[in-house]
Amino acid sequence: MNLKHCLVILGLTLLVVGSSPSWSPQTRLAMPSTAVKAAANQPNLYAQKDLVRVYNDLQKRSEHQLWLRRSALLGDVESAITLANLLPDESRAWLTHAADLGSTQARVELSYAQIDTPPNYTIASEAIANLTVPQRNQLAILAMSWDQQATAQHWRNIAPETTRWQNRIEVDDWFRAATNQCDRHLVLYTENPSSIPKLYDWLYQIKKQFTPSAGRLCVSKALPHQALSCSPVEGRAHCQHQSFEVENSTAVYVTERGRANTRNGVVFINDSTSWHVFIHELAHAWGLADEYRMHISVREPFCEGQFSFTAKNLVVSDSSLLTDSEYQNFLSTLPWREELTVEAASRVRIMGIDYWRLGSSSGDGIGLYPAATCEGTGVQAWKPLRAMTFMEQAEIGKIPTLYLEWMLEPNL
């Protein structure tokens, strides 16, 4: 193409542009003009974004989305994030596009949405300062779940200054504490990284329950997530138990599926449950039995003494009437005989013979009270407190100090 042809084309172009209203990136239009459309088609990003704004103001959905797409594909991060929020079915694709363009917000949101997958992006320390509080919350959770793979900073330095995060920092200090003098040691496994923040929240509540005796309870993390093989067994949470050598240790597996349960001193618990259920299962591992009517599959074996397990909070008797020698023998085997504050039985005379009728008449102290554990088996279960406790209804939250002390002591 010679110079003459170039001058002709240039002249025609100027004529077309000059025949329309003038436009520049500083011009804020109320209606789309020929000039701005021509610039947008060149393509000019400023013009495309102006069309995005104008069509949004005019509530012209199809045109608005068209120019959002074109400006996003031209490299505009804001348009890509808008599309991610506007189009749920395409959200991940547009977030990925924004993340590839370098958007810190998109990288955080995308990684958080796929939290159980190793992060594909690392957030630079200098970019963290520009994040909003919700984004810092997401990034802190990512850093906690993936041991800082999402960012070079520790999650403690990222987390918003909220009560919940302060509580998690307190638990993190607990993890870091010395573990050489522990009556109980929790070794914690998680099937999914997303369970870790929930586990911290549970542990904060557990620590509160055991205060001021919390120093006798130690906690530590165990294997990485990929090492676990978990699958429910008959509807109950279960993982292949890992071998470890930690004195006075109790393994806890936090799973994605299955009902909470404790088997042979190992706790399996679904991450969708609550800390109340967690401490209930820990109590099983540490020597306490259910005070509600047990499931038929375990009720008779337990109540007939077929399990190699002696509960600290329950005893059973074949009869509620005992002779003096039988009662003395019963007392000698009562786990809480040293803690009794009220009589465990009262004297009765039947047909000229003296007996002891089991059961405390006063409900204000540590004594002997009927439990529903063995209903329907022909034997009676007894507990030390009249009031309903967390071993009868986990969510009640009432955990007697006596029971907490028992949980820290060696199993019978």
The answer on pLDDT for 7 being more than 90 is no
Does an H or E element contain 382, and which? strand 380-383
Average pLDDT, the chain: 88
Please tell me the distance from the alpha carbon of residue 206 to that of residue 277, in angstroms, as a whole number. 11
Neighbours of 37 (CB within 10 A): 16
Give the pLDDT score at 247.
Answer: 72
The answer on pLDDT for 17 being more than 70 is no
Least confident among 60-74, 82-96, 235-249, 375-389: 235-249
Give the pLDDT score at 396.
Answer: 85
Give the pLDDT score at 8.
Answer: 30
Per residue in 245-255, pLDDT tens?
A: 677 889 999 99
- The secondary structure of residue 135, as a DSSP letter, is H
The answer on pLDDT for 261 being more than 60 is yes
348 band by pLDDT with thresholds 50, 70 and 90: very high
Give the pLDDT score at 120.
Answer: 87
- Output 112 or 362, whichever has higher pLDDT: 112
Give the pLDDT score at 31.
Answer: 67
Q: β-strands 261-263, 217-221: how paired?
A: unpaired
Where b means 16+ CB within 10 Å and e means fewer, 76-105 reads bbebbbbbbeeeeeebeebbbbbbeeebbb
Give the pLDDT score at 15.
Answer: 29
The answer on pLDDT for 2 being more than 50 is no
Give the pLDDT score at 382.
Answer: 97
Please state, for a pLDDT cut of 90, what percent of the chain lies above it: 70
Please state, for a pLDDT cut of 70, what percent of the chain lies above it: 90
134 band by pLDDT with thresholds 50, 70 and 90: very high
Q: State the average pLDDT over residues 72-91.
A: 95
Give the pLDDT score at 14.
Answer: 31
The half-sphere exposure of 213 on its side-chain side, counting CA atoms within 13 A, is 14
Q: State the average pLDDT over residues 148-170.
A: 92
Neighbours of 245 (CB within 10 A): 5
Give the pLDDT score at 299.
Answer: 92
Per residue in 190-212, pLDDT tens?
A: 999 999 999 999 999 999 999 87
- pTM, rounded to two decimals: 0.83
In this structure, which amino acid lies at residue 164? R
286 band by pLDDT with thresholds 50, 70 and 90: very high
- Output 218 or 18, whichever has higher pLDDT: 218
Question: Residues 107, 121: contact at Cβ < 8 Å?
Answer: yes
Give the pLDDT score at 411.
Answer: 83
Nearest to 386 by CA among 320, 291, 319, 321: 291
22-36, 92-106, 298-312, range with greatest mean pLDDT: 92-106
